[in-house]
Structure 1
Amino acid sequence: MIVNSGSAKWEGGLKDGKGLISTKSGALSDQPYGFNTRFEGKPGTNPEELIGAAHAACFSMALSMILQGAGVTDVKIETTSQIGLDKEGEGFAIKTAHLVTRITGNGDPAVIEDCARQAEKGCPVSKVLNAEVTLDVTVG
């Protein structure tokens, strides 16, 4: 099993607090985030855009593999994943992940579209959006 990780630090309350996001690889290192970047559209990152980037990347890689298996060559894929955060009760929930992709390649357009539909359901990030979540807690 391959295991990668991201980490976050947070100080303060919800609206006045500030956080830092990092990745194991160092691609992100102490990138700031907060209420204003998540709910008020201010510059900076937020969990949903990071999920969107991961989803778009995963989908594109999965699609590349499926297209290769279908004999499609000279493939170029550009993908965006729009992650929808909706109010749910007293909190929020990610309810939608909408992929938008542009694919070029040498092959039957119907086959290319079918491959994209397979990647939509089969990429690991699409699957994780309905994953079992577990937790280990240390207090103090």
Structure 2
Amino acid sequence: MAISRHATARWEGDLKNGQGSLSTPTSGLMDDTGYGFNSRFGDGKGTNPEELIAAAHAGCFTMYLSNLLAEAGHVATRLETRAEVDLSTEGGPSLSQIRLKLEGEVPGIDDAEFQRLAADARDNCPVSKALQAVPKSLEATLRKG
């Protein structure tokens, strides 16, 4: 069984002066949320594809890791992930790097096991697999709660 999700994008105008909007009709999270050249390549208001990829990757990685931890007998008290997605403009736009920064509180686990499971999640969560062409780094910090 496959689960299908969708979003819609609308764009009007050329690349630099045009405006777009993104919607996620099923969840309602985004409803004609603006995006454009300045929100992607500058600091303009609105979202951009790289921010959305970062959110998707942080969410998927964190959920995947929570499952790996639970399967190993260590239910996480808290996992927080920051995903940073770099867009390079040299040689044509491309995603050049993803940095995952994880902080976790997980009772009863040692740092070596935490690092091993975090690396597994970095490599094997569905979004990581979809983004195999993009180099990924992981900084994982285990906090005692």
Aligned to 1:69: 71
Q: Is the CA contact 2:76–2:104 (under 8 Å) kept in the aligned structure 1?
A: no
- Measure how far apart 1:23 and its partner are: 1.2
Find the residue that maps to 1:71 and give its secondary structure. coil
Q: Structure 1 residues 65 and 81 mapped into 2: Cα distance closer, same or farther (>3 Å)?
A: same
Aligned to 1:96: 97
- Measure how far apart 1:5 and its partner are: 1.0
- TM-score normalised by L of structure 2: 0.85
- Measure how far apart 1:88 and its partner are: 4.0
User: In the alignment, is residue 50 of structure 1 matched against residue 59 of structure 2?
Assistant: no
Consecutive unaligned residues in structure 1, runs of 5 or more: 132-140
Aligned to 1:32: 34
Cα-Cα RMSD: 1.3
2:75 and 2:40 mapped to 1: Cα distance? 39
1:40 and 1:33 mapped to 2: Cα distance? 11
Aligned to 2:129: 127
2:90 and 2:127 mapped to 1: Cα distance? 22
Q: Please tell me the residue identity of whatever aligns with 1:72.
A: H
Deviations for 1:72-125, whole angstroms, at most 9, x for unmatched residues? Answer: 134310001100101242x30112111111011112221111110100001111
Q: Is the CA contact 2:69–2:117 (under 8 Å) kept in the aligned structure 1?
A: yes
Q: Please tell me the residue identity of whatever aligns with 1:65.
A: N
1:74 and 1:57 mapped to 2: Cα distance? 15
1:47 and 1:31 mapped to 2: Cα distance? 12
**Equivalent residue pairs, number:** 130
Deviations for 1:13-55, whole angstroms, at most 9, x for unmatched residues? Answer: 1111000011132111100000010111112111100000000
Aligned to 2:138: none
Aligned to 1:21: 22
2:129 and 2:86 mapped to 1: Cα distance? 16
Find the residue that maps to 2:93 and give its secondary structure. strand
2:93 and 2:41 mapped to 1: Cα distance? 11
Find the residue that maps to 2:98 and give its secondary structure. strand
